[in-house]
Chain A
Amino acid sequence: MSTKEETPVADGDKPQTSSWKDSIYNPRTGEFIGRTAKSWALILLFYLVFYGFLAGMFTLTMWVMLQTLDDNIPTYRDRVASPGLVIRPRSLDIVFNRTDTKQYVQYVQHLENFLQQYNDTVQERNELCMVGEYYEQDDQEEKKVCQFKRSLLRQCSGLSDTTFGYTEGKPCVLVKMNRIIGLKPRGDPYINCTAKRESPLQMQYFPSEGRFDKMYFPYYGKNLHSTYVQPLVAVKLLLTKEDYNNELTVECKIEGSDLRNSDDRDKFLGRVTFRVKVVE
């Protein structure tokens, strides 16, 4: 009882006589923010050991988790059931002046770089596969790759026309389908592009009809299938003089297969929409 009575007094003189400076460093007791150096050191040590242990535990659980993973196939693929479509050049707004090289050199450069891996010299090392059939090699140790030569893209290969039609105002756009391990599209997938306007826009597809051949499926993953190249479809937009200076919205969809192309939320699932505006 008596000790309790005295404590407020004993306590009392500390907060009253000490300024706020003392609460950071109190020279009388050697306390720094309410603790002595030794106390701080011990707390630091405690937390060091504690966090060390936690780090160890975390590493251990992560290691165990990583052990359960397959090197070649991810555990779940349900979130990528259907592939997305993307275009090259990597821009959804292709705007350029066909007379001004500077404005489209970036697109041309980009396409050129992208097509490096499709160079015929590179692709000739790959297999020639059966057209129209899945190239299944589940039991093979080494997965082979079917060749997709750049030259297949004809006018859009950049070989004959190194500017991919940008100078003539009829730009090429490469449509590619996302790689998904084990994906085998049923039916005959092909790309169909439409311009969102009254009159249809003339387009050319390479390879013909914009088909993705089945021989490029399935994909076996980066690890096993390291030199795999995905098939491409080049679309040459045959713009006319009337189309210049107008913004044109083009939507490309994958059709003729079970691949989804009309998801509400995902505007890139089996389709891609981009805008083209060529200025004269």
Chain B
Amino acid sequence: MGYGRSDSYRVATSQDKDGKSSPSKKNKKGKDMDELKKEVPITEHKMSIEECCRKFNTDIVQGLTNAKAAEFLIRDGPNCLTPPPTTPEWIKFCRQLFGGFSILLWTGAILCFLAYAIQAATEDEPAGDNLYLGIVLSVVVVVTGCFSYFQEAKSSKIMESFKNMVPQQALVIREGEKMTINAEEVVAGDLVEVKGGDRIPADLRVVSAHGCKVDNSSLTGESEPQSRSPDCTHDNPLETRNVAFFSTNCVEGTARGIVVCTGDRTVMGRIATLTSGLESGKTPIAKEIEHFIHLITGVAVFLGITFFILAVCLGYTWLEAVIFLIGIIVANVPEGLLATVTVCLTLTAKRMAKKNCLVKNLEAVETLGSTSTICSDKTGTLTQNRMTVAHMWFDNQIHEADTTEDQSGASFDKTSASWAALARVAALCNRAVFKAGQDQLPILKRDTAGDASESALLKCIELSCGSVKQIREKNKKVAEIPFNSTNKYQLSVHETEDPNDNRYLLVMKGAPERILDRCTTIIIQGKEQPMDEEMKESFQNAYMELGGLGERVLGFCHLLMPEDQYPKGFAFDCDDVNFTTESLCFVGLMSMIDPPRAAVPDAVGKCRSAGIKVIMVTGDHPITAKAIAKGVGIISEGNETVEDIASHHTGSRSANSLCSLMFPLLSLSDAKACVIHGTDLKELSQDQMDDILRNHTEIVFARTSPQQKLIIVEGCQRLGAIVAVTGDGVNDSPALKKADIGVAMGISGSDVSKQAADMILLDDNFASIVTGVEEGRLIFDNLKKSIAYTLTSNIPEITPFLLFIIVNIPLPLGTITILCIDLGTDMVPAISLAYEAAESDIMKRQPRNPTRDKLVNERLISIAYGQIGMIQALGGFFSYFVILAENGFLPSILVGIRLNWDDRACNDLEDSYGQQWTYEQRKIVEFTCHTAFFVSIVVVQWADVIVCKTRRNSVFQQGMKNKILIFGLFEETALAAFLSYTPGMDVALRMFPLKPSWWFCAVPYSVLIFVYDEIRKLLIRRNPGGKWLSLSLYNI
């Protein structure tokens, strides 16, 4: 691994310096990056063990004394990562209480109290209306605030349950005694013992080790376990062998070490701390909602102020003008909307959690939907993270093994005698074993002890030939030479199955060319034949082909040792090889790969049709990366990479040309796909990087370090993409944080990456991201529908006030009834729209363009306010006029009647029929009108919710399958009836029972809304992309 993390960060910094981003941002970022770039301040690896002990006042045998340990614990604090600074709960609560529309409503409430105070001061018997309304408004704000707060809190609770799942333990030696303590209590200077399977409790300077290997992948991205020993092998503490890092895993062996750093001072801790300092921008949906709130607040303030001034000019008193202002504010603010949005997002988050996407931040639900680029890991996310035998070569032919997870793929011919021989070699010359107690599990799911390739062989043989254990029992192992890097082979000597046959069987596997060199014969159809040139060439071709598929190829050979030279009981000496390892019989090749997950190609295809660019970022070799990319469709079939074309030009197809990307070749824009090597990435300028990202649709980054992900993410974001990044390692966390949506892995992910991410894939499966995208897109569509639905009823809420002020009619709709609509009847239908199924295949359209496709745009406002809302208002006014007329007040006398109508002293107001009304009598009629107006809004909202179900399709195409919506229709009707007919409501909410016929006043308007919108959608479907029509009629 030639690229340590410090290197990579240097690249990241230089990239950033070239950037044209705003200077303030650059400075802040630059500082963080510089911090990250700094060398790890560990020097203990260069000290001798004695020096080390002296530094920490510890003893190599006895360890720390308990007193010292306690002292250090107080000095350094517990050995755990400081959680990222969290906003205190009360600030979060206040944010909910004073954010969004709350300020507007508070203003309304304060004005109410003010009006009441003025009334109380000037009048003898002040009407309690304003006080009552003020209290109601305050309660509304507080209740909706609490509701949102608890929703948020609930989703963050899920996250907390994730942490601290397993309390870490550590084995320390203090005062010469071994003791198991909580890992948090480990202090610098402690003598710690770790063994295979443990998590390293702190940064350790190794003092002794026995076959100890650690998995540093979460820190450095190196996937192979690394051995640890007491000797310093490198100046860089990250490269040296005698330091084991906090939170990495010990894979095998045992080691003892002195703790040099704990908690946030560890390498892992530093990255975590700095990552949490990186700012991640607002989520797209948060921006959308903010935009929407500004819009609505703007309208409310504008209307409120205008009518306040108008009212004062028209000769109303200040007090009256203030009351109008309150009314307009209350009517304009969709009080229940933000709660609706929160509920909708929560519902989706729950649905996603069922599909293995755990969303930490509610808003991330939608971000995933607007994602236009996914930078995905390979190992574990796209692939099964399990070496599996993919191909075999025997009988001069390549056979394909089944690599699918559920063994549903095709199998090969197992009858050949050569296969039997190959299987025997693979089974015997293999140290991997299944761990105990997994008999009931399918073979592929079982855990094994041993190296990845051997495990792959073990499983392959177990699957096709039955119990490997039995084979091994029948062929007792006599001698063994384990694999080492000089021999590049592994061999073992076994007794044969046949008890009468006293010959020994020598089996060997290793690098194919090394194995071939030792062979003189080859098995074809079970018969040994001499190895001729033709055979060698055929071997070479097979080897090249399998290697070209990115697979790890192993060669197998065996030899039945002549009994005369090696009689029974022959003492095989493995150190000083006293037996032949030449002129063996070649059996075959087997090649292994970490195969793609079954659902991934489909998911990648879905992404592609959804206009999402999938970029693979992996630390693997380019050839393997390319093979997997082709396998899962990231590089689509028939698409040639830049290197392929280059190799056509130069005629050579060596792996070398893949790695050394020649820049003139970039002009070959006919190549849509490209594989970029990490070392090349380092040398790319920002413009070149942009060029690559812009001109290639299928990109694979190979041999990249996790830090280079950051550069890739930044590049994509520069081009305006909304980027999702998957990552599991600690070093991925800056990229995860930087990305618009960071996706951490639930199984393999480190805690730090989970903390930095917005979403966690519980099954580590790429396909889950795609279902997440689908849900995210759906919720965006449905939120739009919900908002359109909720906003529509604002017009029938505002217009009564406006007409009340301008033409002096009795007030058609009161503030309390408005609140009943916004927080009562409108809620369930609005939420039910979140359950609406997609209209068309949402995964077949391009991702939303955040600059153009707004959640609330002028077209939506135009339709909701200008069209449907107007019809609704007319419906409401119609029932208002009906009630007044049927009670004796014909429309003709209503204009200008307000002054007398609202005069408490006027108790003989004459109606159109000559009857005279007391104040209370006509107020009851007025409140009946409010109730009827309210019921009318419910009636027209029936049509509205059905209309809002779809944006293009007819309701007849879409159907009424949404049960929640149907429930919502009944619920709002029942609620309206309840509010109107329950005894006592006349006092509590001033709502009065309606005569049955008044329920039907708004029905024609309800029908009109439905018919009008069906026609509108028909026009849209008939004229896709219709020009001026679209401007006023589309609400997409």
- Flag A51-94 by CB within 8 Å of B: 1 or 0 each: 10010011001100110010011111101100111100011100
Q: Is B907 part of the contact surface with A, judged by Cβ < 8 Å?
A: yes
> Would A84 and B907 be within 8 Å (CB), given that A7-B849, A69-B886 are in contact?
yes
CA A223 to CA B912, docked complex, whole Å: 9
Pick from A2, A39, A73, A268: contact of B919, CB under 8 Å: A268
The answer to whether A179 touches B915, judged by C-beta atoms less than 8 angstroms apart, is yes
Instruction: Determine the residue in chain B with the shortest Cβ distance to A74.
Output: B888
User: A: which residues have CB within 8 A of B?
Assistant: 1-2, 4-5, 7-9, 11-12, 15, 34-35, 38-39, 42-43, 46-47, 50-51, 54, 57-58, 61-62, 65-66, 69, 72-77, 79-80, 83-86, 90-92, 176, 178-181, 219, 221-223, 225, 228, 263, 265-269, 272
A sample of 17 more A-B contacts (CB under 8 A), given A43-B1031, A66-B890, is A1-B697, A5-B697, A8-B849, A11-B851, A61-B1004, A65-B885, A66-B885, A74-B911, A74-B915, A79-B925, A80-B917, A86-B916, A91-B905, A179-B915, A221-B915, A222-B912, A223-B914
The contact sample of 22 A-B pairs, CB cut-off 8 A, is A2-B697, A4-B372, A8-B851, A12-B720, A15-B851, A39-B1028, A46-B1032, A47-B1032, A57-B1008, A58-B874, A61-B878, A62-B881, A65-B882, A66-B885, A74-B887, A74-B911, A74-B912, A75-B885, A77-B915, A79-B928, A219-B915, A268-B918
User: Smallest distance from the beta carbon of A125 to chain B beta carbons, Å?
Assistant: 19
Which stretch in B742-750, B865-873, B968-976 binds the other chain? B865-873
Instruction: Determine the residue in chain B with the shortest Cβ distance to A177.
Output: B916
Contacts of B919 in A (CB 8 A): 266, 268
Contacts of B1031 in A (CB 8 A): 35, 39, 42-43
User: B: which residues have CB within 8 A of A?
Assistant: 372, 611, 613, 694, 697, 719-721, 846-847, 849, 851-852, 858, 866-867, 870-871, 874, 877-878, 881-882, 885-888, 890-891, 905, 907-908, 910-921, 924-925, 928, 995, 1004, 1008, 1028, 1031-1032
CA A34 to CA B905, docked complex, whole Å: 53
The answer to whether B871 touches A54, judged by C-beta atoms less than 8 angstroms apart, is yes
Task: Give the top 7 A-B pairs by smallest Cβ distance, nearest first.
Answer: A222-B914, A84-B918, A8-B720, A178-B916, A266-B920, A74-B888, A75-B886
> Would A221 and B1004 be within 8 Å (CB), given that A47-B866, A268-B920 are in contact?
no
The answer to whether A42 touches B886, judged by C-beta atoms less than 8 angstroms apart, is no
User: Smallest distance from the beta carbon of B48 to chain A beta carbons, Å?
Assistant: 58
User: Smallest distance from the beta carbon of A272 to chain B beta carbons, Å?
Assistant: 8
Instruction: Determine the residue in chain B with the shortest Cβ distance to A91.
Output: B905
CA A176 to CA B881, docked complex, whole Å: 30
User: Smallest distance from the beta carbon of A191 to chain B beta carbons, Å?
Assistant: 15
User: Smallest distance from the beta carbon of A54 to chain B beta carbons, Å?
Assistant: 6
The answer to whether A84 touches B916, judged by C-beta atoms less than 8 angstroms apart, is yes
The answer to whether A76 touches B878, judged by C-beta atoms less than 8 angstroms apart, is no
CA A9 to CA B718, docked complex, whole Å: 11
Instruction: Determine the residue in chain A with the shortest Cβ distance to B885.
Output: A69
Instruction: Determine the residue in chain B with the shortest Cβ distance to A225.
Output: B914
> Would A86 and B886 be within 8 Å (CB), given that A11-B852, A43-B1031 are in contact?
no
The answer to whether A80 touches B915, judged by C-beta atoms less than 8 angstroms apart, is yes
User: Smallest distance from the beta carbon of A180 to chain B beta carbons, Å?
Assistant: 5
Most chain-A Cβ atoms within 10 A of its Cβ — which of B697, B846, B908, B913? Answer: B913
> Would A76 and B887 be within 8 Å (CB), given that A15-B851, A84-B918, A269-B920 are in contact?
yes
The answer to whether A84 touches B921, judged by C-beta atoms less than 8 angstroms apart, is yes
CA A43 to CA B891, docked complex, whole Å: 32
User: Smallest distance from the beta carbon of B616 to chain A beta carbons, Å?
Assistant: 17
The answer to whether A181 touches B913, judged by C-beta atoms less than 8 angstroms apart, is yes
User: Smallest distance from the beta carbon of A267 to chain B beta carbons, Å?
Assistant: 8
Contacts of B720 in A (CB 8 A): 8-9, 12
Instruction: Determine the residue in chain A with the shortest Cβ distance to B884.
Output: A74
User: Smallest distance from the beta carbon of B172 to chain A beta carbons, Å?
Assistant: 56
CA A85 to CA B866, docked complex, whole Å: 46
CA A180 to CA B916, docked complex, whole Å: 7
The answer to whether A79 touches B881, judged by C-beta atoms less than 8 angstroms apart, is no
Instruction: Determine the residue in chain B with the shortest Cβ distance to A182.
Output: B915
The answer to whether B914 touches A268, judged by C-beta atoms less than 8 angstroms apart, is no
CA A272 to CA B906, docked complex, whole Å: 12
Pick from B372, B907, B913, B995: contact of A73, CB under 8 Å: B913
